[in-house]
């Protein structure tokens, strides 16, 4: 297994274990996400690791029984594509403006990550539910 896939596996394990603070050791300080332009444009040009931490903290707060899995990994040069799923019951805080329903929720997303010198430096993609539509099924 390549070093990039090992890195992403370790990051995924940390997120699955609830270690949201791990974003600071896996992401480079100059990490750039192309998602910010449509989700949170105020953070463009800043150290965005705090925003990644905030997202994971919000997910864990909304879905206390959250399970995070990586469904598919594809690697090409310094890029890794990850298709992932978060499953849980929406019994916690509101998520993307949707109040807790007590129903099971499945959030699927795809991330394309550029890795350099053992750190995640660039990101495209994200959850396929940015506006909260289709959170419950």
Length reported for the chain? 137
Residue at token pair 């929720």: 105
Separation CA 123–CA 26 (nearest Å): 13
Containing 49, the helix (H) or strand (E) segment is: helix 49-62
What pLDDT does 80 receive?
A: 94
What pLDDT does 38 receive?
A: 54
What structural domains and CATH numbers belong to the chain?
Answer: 3-127 (3.10.450.50)
- pTM for the model stands at 0.75
Residue 137 pLDDT > 50: no
pLDDT tens digits, one per residue of 99-135: 999 999 888 888 899 999 999 998 888 665 544 444 4
pLDDT tens digits, one per residue of 31-80: 887 775 555 656 666 667 777 788 888 888 999 999 888 899 999 999 99
Q: Tokens standing for 34?
A: 């192309």
Which of 24, 6, 34 shows the shortest CA–CA distance to 130? 34
Strand partners, 73: 82
């Amino acid at each position: 297994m390549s070093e990039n896939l090992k890195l992403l596996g370790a990051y995924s394990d940390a997120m699955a274990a609830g270690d949201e603070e791990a974003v600071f050791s896996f992401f480079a300080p100059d990490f750039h996400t192309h998602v910010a332009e449509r989700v949170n444009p105020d953070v463009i040009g800043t150290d965005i690791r705090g925003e990644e931490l905030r997202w994971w903290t919000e997910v864990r707060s909304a879905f206390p029984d959250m399970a995070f899995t990586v469904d598919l990994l594809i690697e090409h040069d310094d890029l890794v594509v990850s298709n992932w799923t978060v499953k849980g019951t929406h019994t916690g805080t509101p998520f993307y403006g949707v109040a807790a329903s007590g129903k099971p929720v499945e959030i699927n997303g795809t991330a394309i990550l550029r890795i350099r010198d053992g750190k995640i430096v660039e990101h495209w993609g994200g959850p396929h539910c940015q506006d909260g539509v289709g959170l419950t099924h």
